[in-house]
Amino acid sequence: MTDLDTRVAPAPSALRRAAPALLGYAAVRALGLLVLVLWSAARGKSALTLLTARWDSLWYTRVAELGYGYEVRLPNGDVHSNLAFFPLLPWLERGLHAVSPLSYADAGLVVSLLASLAAAWGVFAVADHVYGRRAGVCAVLLWAVLPVGIVQSMAYSESLFTALAAWSLHAVLTGRWITTGTLAALAGLTRPVGLAVVAAVWAAGIAAFVWESRESRLPAAGAPAWRRALGLLLAPLGAAGYVLWVGHRTGKGPLGYLDVQAGWRNGFDGGYAFARFVADKFTSVPGAFAGLALIAGVALVIRLYVVGVRQGQPLPLLVYTGVVTALALCASSYFGSKPRLLMPAFPLLLPLALALARARPRRSAAVLAAVAAASAVYGAFWLNGSGPP
């Protein structure tokens, strides 16, 4: 058996199978961008600037242009260092800028737009493998119409990470371990949450080794042991390499990256700070509604994960989703960005996708169209606000 085994369709065939999902995804994103352009113009702002030159996108652009070492010291003593931003997106921005007339910022937007299509295809491939083509199309459209879906079209790293994560998960589900490990390593060079991909790969690999002599639901059970071992070794190299490099550069050893994140007031506290943030909302009547909405949102995320467990989602998906969700909800800062941090957890959408796939096509289309319109309006409102997404 080779790493590209017979369970994976040839690329042209796979692309034809995914075409409805990709066309639907492109239509939803085009609608979101159109509404953003119109909304921004009405407010005297540039939609292009909002997409390429604000918040995190500025930090990525500075890394691409100037390299690492830039930092901002705030009046309260906090130090915001660009070492907090993983390097794959800036590397791609720099590479595209070098071979084209695009600025670093515009190159970042092009990379993100292309990566979002790759991510949509990856989401389809995973959902199609687990539940079938209709569920795959619905999963992609649900991912597109997320309230924070506009981030998929920004010069941010979420689309690139989701693409690498989705295709790594698809590779592990189809037993292609070298591909799995390579994509997991690249995901680890994209965002700190690359840890979730590594955890999923290792969980699947360990399970395959443990159950190798038994009949198993894991497709990887029949793969040669040396391929699994190599995939497991490759998976953490990206994240571990960058974290160790940051520790060496800062002179603070293997945990130096945690100190960089602490300068941003970011860390993992088990959800304590987020719980306090939600509780503080109930000190006023308007805030109480926001607090209830936050509680409902967290409850929905947990509910979708539990349903995924009950529906028998494959182990790698459950591990990946669990780690992404835990890291997003239990981070100690940037509470307004939690919906964006949850966006890569696309397997949470699979129960909803399965329900839509089983419903009447007209009803599913009407629901998705209405949510797409609402998402487009919300995205334009959100990016024209004062705070980062």
Domain spans, the chain? 14-383
Task: Please give the average per-residue pLDDT across 241-261, as a whole number.
Answer: 93
If pLDDT is split at 50, 70 and 90, which confidence band does 8 have? low
* Residue type at position 92: L
Task: Please give the average per-residue pLDDT across 250-262, as a whole number.
Answer: 91
Q: Give Cα 379 to chain centroid, integer Å.
A: 17
pLDDT at 111 over 90: yes
**What are 144-156's pLDDT values in tens digits?**
999 999 999 999 9
CB 192 within 8 A of CB 238: no
State residue 60's pLDDT score: 97
CA distances 24 to 28, 113, 177, Å, are 6, 15, 31
SS3 80: strand
Consecutive H or E run containing 344: none
CB 321 within 8 A of CB 305: yes
Q: How far apart are CA 266 and CA 334, in angstroms?
A: 8
What's the mean pLDDT when you consider all of the chain? 92
Q: Which residue has the tokens 């990566």?
A: 115
If pLDDT is split at 50, 70 and 90, which confidence band does 5 have? very low
pLDDT at 75 over 80: yes
State residue 3's pLDDT score: 42
**What are 209-231's pLDDT values in tens digits?**
887 656 545 454 456 788 999 99
pLDDT at 188 over 80: yes
State residue 222's pLDDT score: 56
Task: Please give the average per-residue pLDDT across 181-202, as a whole number.
Answer: 97
State residue 9's pLDDT score: 65
State residue 223's pLDDT score: 65
If pLDDT is split at 50, 70 and 90, which confidence band does 142 have? very high
Burial class (CB in 10 A: 0-12, 13-18, 19+), 260: buried
Q: Is the pTM of this model over 0.85?
A: yes
**What are 276-295's pLDDT values in tens digits?**
988 988 888 778 888 899 99
Taken in order 156, 161, 162, 163, the sign of the CA dihedral is positive
Task: Please give the average per-residue pLDDT across 150-177, as a whole number.
Answer: 97
Per 3-state DSSP, the chain is made up of helix, strand and coil in percentages (nearest 5) of 75, 0, 25
**What are 312-351's pLDDT values in tens digits?**
999 999 999 999 999 999 988 778 889 999 999 999 999 9
Task: Please give the average per-residue pLDDT across 255-271, as a whole number.
Answer: 90
**What are 55-65's pLDDT values in tens digits?**
999 999 999 99
